[in-house]
Amino acid sequence: MQANHWTDVFISNRRWLSTAAIITLSVVVALGGGLFVAVLGGPIALGAILGLIVLVLILRRIEIGYAALIAVVCLLPFAALPIDFVVKPTFLDVVLIAVFGVWLLERATGKLSGFVNTPLTLPVLAFLTIALATFIAGLGNAPLTQTVARHFAEIILSILLFFLITDTVRDSQRLNLITRLLIWGGILAAAIAVILYMLPDQTSMDLLSRLSVFNYPQGPGVLRYILDDPTQPQRATGTSIDPNALGGLLILTLTLAVPQLFAKRPLLRRGWLIVGLGLMALALLLSFSRGSFVGVGIALVGLGLVRYRKLLIVIVVALALVLILPQTQGYVTHFFDGLQVLSDTQASDLSTQMRMGEYSDALILIQRYPILGVGFTGAPDIDTYLQVANLYLMMAGEMGLVGLTVFLMVMLTLFISAWRIRELVSGQPDLEPIGWGFHAALFGALVGGIFDHYYFNLDFHHMVTLFWVYIGLAAVSTRLIKERAQTDGSRNVPA
């Protein structure tokens, strides 16, 4: 009887303590939430709370991390937290740190067995080593600012994402999911760009300016025009700020989506896929990004020649419509003006003339510092500079011909590995369009890189991130095709 009495007292005390703890916690959360709202404001506080919820979900499932990463890269690539720390972390920084945290946690707890190697592992490590070496060697060329140091760290983190992707994407289900998310990300980015382009200028400017709370630009400058002249045609930007950056995004997402048209079971319903491809193609045209248009065009022609012959008919019809329709004549004129400069230096296309001048100056810099370049902080000579609208010249200027050569080795290894197993992929209808899509998209990006620098530019962290995500997923698709062929007992599987 006495024992039962003390048991009842103990249980009663525990209930009282639990109730007190819940009440105390509720008061603390209420006061904290009220302070949060008072300091940040209602909408920002709500966004911050939702962001914290997303971070918690990322820590529980890395697939949520992939989704958040793709959403930020495609829809809010330049957004930063509206809180002043020593620096303002971007949404992309926060998501990347969370995803890497999950990866390291899974490695520490043994959830991931072994480490997945690919033919690209050593070349990518070599590229990372050279990047770090040239950064350190170039510190004497110009003062190291907080901005440059931070952006360089972000670029290194983006390249390291290759290893995270190849180590965590170990089955076709996860590869399918990420591919689907990437296609949807491109469709939504294109839809936003088209809608903002179609709205009245003042409405578009007001909507884009509201993003200033997340460190986006505001005012008339958010609308972009050819030659930055408001009397010229407007260029679609969406939330990418720069129309050529939007074009670079669409090279990757549009080209990835095209092979799904020919898949027996596409990752998206075929109707949605056709609408999405139409939106991405329209956004690409409205961006007036000539380099991106060339990148997509050459990638799709190559895809049609090596695998999907019906695609060549689609390309011919689309090109004919662009050349014939009155609505596209401004784009056609702008495109051919750029080509005219290549044969006539006195032509009137100012943007292309400026670009040719940048190429000439970049070659001077490379001739002076050919081996390891000048690093990432700045050029040591007053008559040279690092910014040039060419991926390869920019990389050679920063990392020298050694760095550029290793980068080309990475890409060559990727394409050779895929080409060697091309006969195996035809028997895998689910992986075939994915494999072709990632490799064609990267080929298009390399072509587009002749005219732009966004895939290796410290100021465009999201594009560098997306580029290395694609490299990782392309390597994963090749590995999964080989592994499935070996499991099925296929002969002549390349080593």
Q: Amino acid letter at 29?
A: V
Where does the pLDDT of residue 221 fall: very low under 50, low under 70, confident under 90, or very high at 90 and above? confident
- Is 348 or 227 the better-scoring residue by pLDDT? 227
User: Percent of the chain scored above 70 by pLDDT?
Assistant: 81
Average pLDDT over residues 192-208: 94
**Domain assignment of residue 289, yes or no:** yes
**Domain assignment of residue 274, yes or no:** yes
Q: Is 486 exposed, middle or buried (0-12, 13-18, 19+ CB in 10 A)?
A: exposed
**Domain assignment of residue 221, yes or no:** yes
- Are 421 and 479 a contacting pair, CB within 8 Å? no
- Is 171 or 9 the better-scoring residue by pLDDT? 171
**Domain assignment of residue 80, yes or no:** no
Q: Amino acid letter at 81?
A: L
Where does the pLDDT of residue 421 fall: very low under 50, low under 70, confident under 90, or very high at 90 and above? confident
Residue 336 confidence (pLDDT) above 80 = no
- CA-CA distance, 223 to 243, in Å (whole number)? 10
**Domain assignment of residue 11, yes or no:** no
Average pLDDT over residues 375-384: 84
- CA-CA distance, 331 to 234, in Å (whole number)? 11
Provide the residue range defining the domain that includes 272: 120-487
Each residue of 89-129: pLDDT tens digit? 899 998 998 899 888 888 888 787 888 889 999 999 999 99
Average pLDDT over residues 336-350: 56
**Domain assignment of residue 87, yes or no:** no
Buried b (16+ CB within 10 A) or exposed e, 154-179: bbebbbbbbbbbbbbbbebebbebbb
- Are 81 and 91 a contacting pair, CB within 8 Å? yes
Six-digit token string for 52 = 């914290």
* Residue at token pair 């045209």: 285
- Is 365 or 1 the better-scoring residue by pLDDT? 365
- CA 312, 317, 322, 324 torsion: positive or negative? positive
DSSP state of 90: B
**The pLDDT value given to residue 403:** 95
- List, in order, residues 6 or more apart from 32 with CB less than 8 Å away: none
Residue 345 confidence (pLDDT) above 70 = no
pLDDT mean across residues, the chain: 83
**The pLDDT value given to residue 289:** 87
> First CA to last CA across the chain, in angstroms?
77
**Domain assignment of residue 99, yes or no:** no
Cα→Cα distances 240→84, 198, 283, Å: 23, 16, 12
The total number of structural domains in the chain stands at 1
Average pLDDT over residues 296-315: 91
- CA-CA distance, 1 to 139, in Å (whole number)? 80
Residue 492 confidence (pLDDT) above 60 = yes
Alpha helix ranges (H) inside 115-171: 121-137, 146-168
- CA-CA distance, 448 to 460, in Å (whole number)? 15
**The pLDDT value given to residue 113:** 80
